[in-house]
Structure 1
Amino acid sequence: MNLLHVLILAIVQGAAELLPVSSSAHVILAEKLMGLDPTAPAMTMLLVMLHTGTMFAVIVHFWKSWQRAYFSSRQVFLRTCGYVVLATTLTGGIGLFLQAIIKHTIMGNAPGFEIENLFGNPRLIASALAAAGILIIFSSRLRQTDQRDISWRSAAWIGAVQGLCLPFRGFTRSGATISTGMVLGVARTKAEEFSFALAVALTPAVIVREAYRLYKAEAGHSTQLLASLGPNLLGMVLSFGAGLLALRWLSSWLEHGRWHLFGAYCLIFAGVVLAVG
């Protein structure tokens, strides 16, 4: 993997991670087109850095709106923390349950199976993309008359749907969670703020998991990994910048009634994944 590969993946990951178009599908396709091995230790290290960059982009973009929405009083803050804990707990529980079901029923309890083994399956990715696209388009067509805030019920549903995104790459996390909130009558901006609050809560766990995979695969590669530290830091900065631009784009389209266009893109890209895969 050379510097050009790092730059391309940083931009693709940084933008697609935060747009409702599935970063996994885009990164996996980009890796295939560039002939890269997504299981290589160098690739795992790069993903750790890129996830870190996009997490900071989310914090910078939403900090002021979160201060207004979630830090206005101690009571509001504690209630919001409860919503986040509930949603994240359901996400982890459902994600792990689905992973166990897939391992024991579909994969025949294969030894050494990890959910990453499914990420190269183009049919599965395309199906998840198409499902996300339909959900986004459906949610965009609903009239929002109440403009509700997040509640315990909506937080639970959003967290549960987010759990589906863990094993099924292509089922875009931001698209699925924001759309679920909108279907439940939550105001678009409130659904967006809560969706990315969940992302900040979830991303450190993803980073730790990827770092652990890197630690297990690191034997014999430490010199190469140290040599790639500089390009990976540059990749993190680029993913941060691409993430900020992507969030501004997402917010603009969400507020101006163009949310359905992301759904249309997911449907089109599902066809591209099938054709290339």
Structure 2
Amino acid sequence: MTWLQILVLALVQGITEFLPISSSAHLILVPVLLGWQDQGLAFDVAVHVGSLIAVVGYFWRDVWSVSQGTLGWLGGRGMNPDARLGLLVVLGTIPAGLAGLLFNDPIELYLRSPLVIAATTIGFGLLLWWADTRRGARTVEHMTWRDGLWIGVAQALALIPGTSRSGITMTAALMLGMQREAAARFSFLLAIPLIVLAGGLKTLELLSLDGPVDWAAIAGGTVLSAISAYACIHLFLGAINRMGFAPFVAYRLVLGILLLVLFLV
């Protein structure tokens, strides 16, 4: 990989991981559209680690309090708001974890195509627009166990390229009557265990492969992805209540139509 590829792909991952526009789709499409060789598994692991560093760093107070509350509950100190949020995150992670174990290989084999990405980009973009019109005033503190499970089931759909993990979880949260910022916050917290699980599986795959590893590319991709993802989370949370999801829906529609033109016409 050249440093231009490292820069572009790390920024693409960092910016798109937490926006409702699908990071996996962009990591597939950018090399295809620019005529680059696929970046490989090692680099994908590196940029996802960067995203993990960013979200844990940004929400470190939440992560710390939720961890302490959950450990306290496990130690018999009773349920508390932090423990409850931690258990909601765990509950929301289970469906996607099971779906990943069962369907990851066929999805990787049959659904990593520009036309699939075009269809999911447009379809789930329109669903996000509709869900935003149904948003309510509920916050994370108002979430029920049923809410956590439904958002988790929705997150499992993000295994399909072009769906967007953050997009589909925010869509589900908005449909359940949550505020925009609350939907985004829970979506970002929900990303932490899933990125850990997905990164762990990819790391195991990587360790089973033979061949040299470009550690400079790995380090550069991790750092650039972490910086761009952190900035993206900060800017997104600061602007989401003002601008809503319309700009992301418009982007998804334009991207989907462009892909249909490029690969069907």
TM-score (norm 1): 0.83
C-alpha deviation, 1:236, in angstroms: 0.9
Segment of structure 1 superposing worse, 60-69 or 45-54: 60-69
Please list the CA deviations of residues 73-120 of structure 1 after superposition, one character each: whole Å capped at 9, or x if unmatched: 9522221222122111122234445x28xxxxxxxxxxxx54322353
Equivalent pairs counted in the alignment come to 254
Partner in structure 2 of residue 33 of structure 1: 33
Partner amino acid, structure 1, of 2:60: W
CA 79–117 in structure 1, closer or farther in 2 if over 3 Å, else same: same
Query: What are the within-5 Å matches in structure 2 for residues 1-277 of structure 1?
Result: 1-38=1-38, 43-64=40-61, 75-96=80-101, 99=103, 114-147=106-139, 149-166=142-159, 168-216=160-208, 218-219=209-210, 221-222=211-212, 225=213, 228-277=214-263
Segment of structure 1 superposing worse, 76-85 or 128-137: 76-85
Please list the CA deviations of residues 107-139 of structure 1 after superposition, one character each: whole Å capped at 9, or x if unmatched: xxxxxx543223531111111111221122112
C-alpha deviation, 1:162, in angstroms: 0.2
Partner amino acid, structure 1, of 2:143: I
Query: What CA distance in whole angstroms lies between the structure 2 residues aligned with 1:45 and 1:117?
Result: 19
Query: What CA distance in whole angstroms lies between the structure 1 residues aligned with 2:161 and 2:235?
Result: 22
Partner amino acid, structure 1, of 2:50: G
Query: What CA distance in whole angstroms lies between the structure 2 residues aligned with 1:10 and 1:91?
Result: 24
* Local SS of the residue matching 2:40: helix
C-alpha deviation, 1:7, in angstroms: 1.1
C-alpha deviation, 1:142, in angstroms: 2.2
Query: What CA distance in whole angstroms lies between the structure 2 residues aligned with 1:255 and 1:18?
Result: 16
Identity %: 30
Query: What CA distance in whole angstroms lies between the structure 2 residues aligned with 1:230 and 1:147?
Result: 42
Query: What CA distance in whole angstroms lies between the structure 2 residues aligned with 1:143 and 1:32?
Result: 36
Q: Which runs of 5+ in 1 are unaligned?
A: 101-112
Partner amino acid, structure 2, of 1:124: V
Query: What CA distance in whole angstroms lies between the structure 1 residues aligned with 2:137 and 2:244?
Result: 18
Contact 2:120–2:163 (8 Å) recurs in 1: yes
Contact 1:10–1:238 (8 Å) recurs in 2: yes
Query: What CA distance in whole angstroms lies between the structure 2 residues aligned with 1:88 and 1:274?
Result: 32
Q: Which runs of 5+ in 2 are unaligned?
A: 73-79
Query: What CA distance in whole angstroms lies between the structure 2 residues aligned with 1:143 and 1:114?
Result: 34
Segment of structure 1 superposing worse, 259-268 or 56-65: 56-65
CA 71–269 in structure 1, closer or farther in 2 if over 3 Å, else same: farther
C-alpha deviation, 1:65, in angstroms: 5.2
Query: What CA distance in whole angstroms lies between the structure 1 residues aligned with 2:146 and 2:59?
Result: 23
Please list the CA deviations of residues 164-192 of structure 1 after superposition, one character each: whole Å capped at 9, or x if unmatched: 111x1100111110121111012322222
Partner amino acid, structure 2, of 1:163: A
Contact 1:128–1:171 (8 Å) recurs in 2: yes
Query: What CA distance in whole angstroms lies between the structure 1 residues aligned with 2:137 and 2:41?
Result: 45
Partner in structure 1 of residue 76 of structure 2: none
Query: What CA distance in whole angstroms lies between the structure 1 residues aligned with 2:43 and 2:232?
Result: 20
Contact 1:23–1:172 (8 Å) recurs in 2: yes
Contact 1:20–1:172 (8 Å) recurs in 2: yes
